[in-house]
Each structure stands twice: as structure tokens, then as C-alpha cells.
Amino acid sequence: MARQAISADQLLQGFDAGKGALPGRGLPWLANLRAQGRERFRTLGLPTAKLEAWRYTRLRPFEDTQFRPATEADGRINVDVIPALLKGAAARIVFINGLYRQELSNVAGLPAGVSIEPLAKALAAGSGWIADHLGRVAGETPQAFFALNTALMDSGVVVKIARGTSLDLPIEIVHVSGLTDRPIMYSPRNLILVEEGASATVLVHHVGLGAGAYFVNGATEVDVRDGGSLRHYTVEAESIDAINLATAHVRVGRDAHYEAFGLAVGGRLSRSEVSIRLAAPGASCKLNGAYLMRGAEHCDNTTVIEHLAPHTSSREVFKGVLDDESRAVFQGRIVVHKGAQKSDGHQLSKALLLSAGAEIDQKPELEIYTDDVKCSHGAAAGQLDAAQLFYLRSRGIPEALARNLLVQAFLAEAVEEVSDIGVREAMMDKVVHWLPAQCYLQEQWRGR
């Protein structure tokens, strides 16, 4: 008999006791926002396959796992090494099981005009601009988990890059999760405001320790104002039983640019849902990603790029490799609204299936309401090219190595879209380490 997923109300009940301890107590606007989020989540309920956005992703973990709120004790566990990805970062903020760990973080020496704070601290300090943006960039959305995050947000950072400020080195945000007695859930909420003409790079890194289950329900709002530029990277390397759901809303202003890259290399269920609004003339975005799944892992990238103004452009490239019985979903929609003349949008999604049990479901979608546009999408699925494999082997490269080499080359096409060199190298390292053991030989072979 199929197990019953718990209802939205049941899920909320588990969090009622801790409600009073959530950050931003005593802020009426926030209490109001949380209440709205809660109501919305109850109305929407947990997503089912009947929703087009969830057509290919089932919430199985909610059928067999009960999550409790993360506690301060969960956040105080000892971590020997912080799994930072970047050697040179402008700042590093570390969270353990959602809790900000100041002693592990380093935000000293940031230039004037750059402000980075954990959400809880920023709310306590009463930073006024947060009220003007939190929940406002996204607006009303029909996304249950975004609403749930709004109700329960208890972690995450707020970043503000002031007008004209440009920050060259990346900001690294590390979320370490796991090693708790029972499965926990926490809700990081990030807000990134890049003011007029400002620019910055942010890398968010989720990493799991141990093998236990946990659930990270993240939500992010990004506002890139006129002439601003943001490079926004994420790496998800969650534990094998973990769930990471991330919902992002991005608004890009006049002549502003937003570049995103998401790499997913693990987790029982990892889902990234990104909505980008190119809101003013000249706005552009690059939304790229790669995923590598094995075991019974499930990865879902669901994206919407909306061209709302003339002369806006978007590029999207997603590539994935699926081994064992893993499964991936790519749903990418490009919408060109009435009046968004001279817009162009291009999208490409490709997947490699390495094993007979793997599955890929792709749904690239174009929705065009005006005529003077150039839009295209491509999607492909298949296995490694037999001719290429044979060619490499005929040159003396062992089969396992040759496979790795080809997989790596396949993914490199996406990873190369990362314009920050340090982040690109860190991403490629992650890819190489995901590959079977022979990859280390391959590194030597390539003379890296």
C-alpha cells in the first residue's frame, strides 16, 4: 500500500512549539509576513504531480521521514574542517545546521558599501531596507515551499552592495548540515540587493556530513538594480538521504546582468526552482547548471525566465550525468511577453545516461507573445559516444578512464560558462571528485 504523504497542516504542527524562537521576534511586519506565508502554505498544500511544476518530482521523503526543527544544539556540533571551496574569498559566512557560527566565519575587511549579515542578526539590528525587500522581490507566488520558508525562515544571509560599489572577490556562504540525532529541517532565507551600478560575486555552498536525513528548505530573493551585476553560484553536495529544496526569485533591472550557475552533486532529492524576471530594457541573464547523480538520487531544475521588456536577452545551459537508478528533471520555460520586442532567449539541456536504470525527463518550453524575437531551445539525451570512446581506447587509454574523460568533457561545456575563474576551478574539482576513482589517474594524465 502506498504510504500517505503528510499534509501541510501536519508538517506545520511540528514547528508550532518553536514559533516564538524564530528570528525577528517583535517585528510586526515580519510577524505579518510569516502569518501570510503560513496561510499560503496551508492553502496551497504540499505539491503533487498534478502541478505542472512538480510533474516529474514526487515528495517521497515526506512519506517516510519526519522532520523536527533544528535546535541551537544541532548548530553547536563540532566540525573539524570547514569545507570551504575557495582559496581567496572576500568574506566567508559559515552556518552549521542553519546556525550562524561567527567563530568559523570571516567578514572582516570588507570594503565600504558591502554589507553581509546573517538574517537573524540583520533583523535584530533593525536594518530598515530588509522590510522593503523581503518577500517583495518574489511577490505572491504559487510555490508552497517558498511560502513555507517565509513562515519558518530561521537562517540565511542578507547581502547589500551599495550603489556603484564593485566587489571583485567572491563572498562564500557555507551551509554544513547533518550529524543530528533525528532528521531536522531548517529554512535559510537569503536576500541579495545589488544597487545601481554595483557588482558582486556570491557562492553558496551546501554540504552534508554523515549519512543522516535532513531537509533544507531554502529561499532566495535577488534584486539587481539598473546597471548592476551579480554572479550567483551554488554548489549542492548534500548527504545521500538529504533533501534540499531551493526556490529563488530574481529581478534584473535596466542594463543589469545576472549570471547564475548551480552545480548539484548529491542528495536524495535536490530541487532548484529559479524564476528570473528581466524587468527593464537591456536586462540580461545567464542561467546555467550541471548535475551529477548516482544511486537513487533525484535532481530537479525547474526554471522560468520572463522577458518583460524590449531588448532583453537570456542564455541557459544545463548539463547532467545520471548513473545507477538516479533520475533528473529539467523544466525550462522562456516567456517573452507582449511588448518585449527584440528579445532573444536561448536554452540548451543535455543529459548523459550512464546506466540502464537512470531516467531523464526534460521539458524545454517557449511561450512567445510578440513577434520580433529570436528564441530557441534544444534538448538531448543519450549515452557516451561509442566512436569517441573507441577512439580514446585505441590510443591506449583504459576504458574507465576514457569514460571519465568524456563525462568530464561533456560537463566542462557547461562549467565553462562560469565566468569567475576561481569558482569555475572549484566547480570542476567537484565534478572530477564525483567521478569514479580512476578520475585521479585522469587528473595525472591530464597533467593537472
Please, how many CA atoms are within 13 Å of residue 185, restricted to the half-sphere of its CB?
22
Cell of 242: 538529504
387 or 421: CB nearest another protein: 387
Is 55 exposed, middle or buried, given 0-12, 13-18 or 19+ CB atoms closer than 10 A?
A: middle
C-alpha dist (Å) from residue 82 to 18, 86, 271, 333: 28, 11, 24, 37
Q: CB 336 → another protein: shortest distance, Å?
A: 8
Assess 360 for contact with another protein (CB under 8 A): yes
Assess 370 for contact with another protein (CB under 8 A): yes
Instruction: List the one residue out of 297, 302, 293 whose CA is nearest residue 269.
Output: 297
Assess 402 for contact with another protein (CB under 8 A): no
Q: Decide: helix, strand or coil at residue 150.
A: helix
Q: CB 346 → another protein: shortest distance, Å?
A: 9
Assess 361 for contact with another protein (CB under 8 A): yes
Cell of 229: 551585476
Q: CB 170 → another protein: shortest distance, Å?
A: 35
Residue at 248: amino acid letter: A
- Using the contact rule CB under 8 A, the part of the chain among 58-66, 99-107, 359-367, 414-422 near another protein is 359-367
Assess 371 for contact with another protein (CB under 8 A): yes
Q: CB 2 → another protein: shortest distance, Å?
A: 21
**Rounded Cα gap, residues 318 and 402, in angstroms:** 23
- The count of other CB atoms within 10 Å of the CB of residue 133 is 17
Assess 372 for contact with another protein (CB under 8 A): yes
Q: CB 159 → another protein: shortest distance, Å?
A: 36
* The only residue of 379, 406, 412, 441 in contact with another protein, by rule CB under 8 A: 379
* DSSP type of residue 49: T
* The only residue of 122, 285, 373, 435 in contact with another protein, by rule CB under 8 A: 373
Assess 141 for contact with another protein (CB under 8 A): no
Give strand pairing partners of 237: 207, 266
Assess 364 for contact with another protein (CB under 8 A): yes
Q: Decide: helix, strand or coil at residue 400.
A: helix
73 or 380: CB nearest another protein: 380
* The only residue of 29, 164, 369, 416 in contact with another protein, by rule CB under 8 A: 369
Q: What are phi and psi of 146, to 5 degrees?
A: -65, -45
**Rounded Cα gap, residues 383 and 351, in angstroms:** 8
- Using the contact rule CB under 8 A, the part of the chain among 123-131, 253-261, 348-356, 426-434 near another protein is 348-356
Cell of 113: 558599501
Assess 355 for contact with another protein (CB under 8 A): yes
Residue 115 CA to its chain's centroid (Å): 22
* The only residue of 131, 375, 392, 400 in contact with another protein, by rule CB under 8 A: 375
Assess 285 for contact with another protein (CB under 8 A): no
| Site residues for another protein per CB under 8 A | 338, 341, 351, 353-383
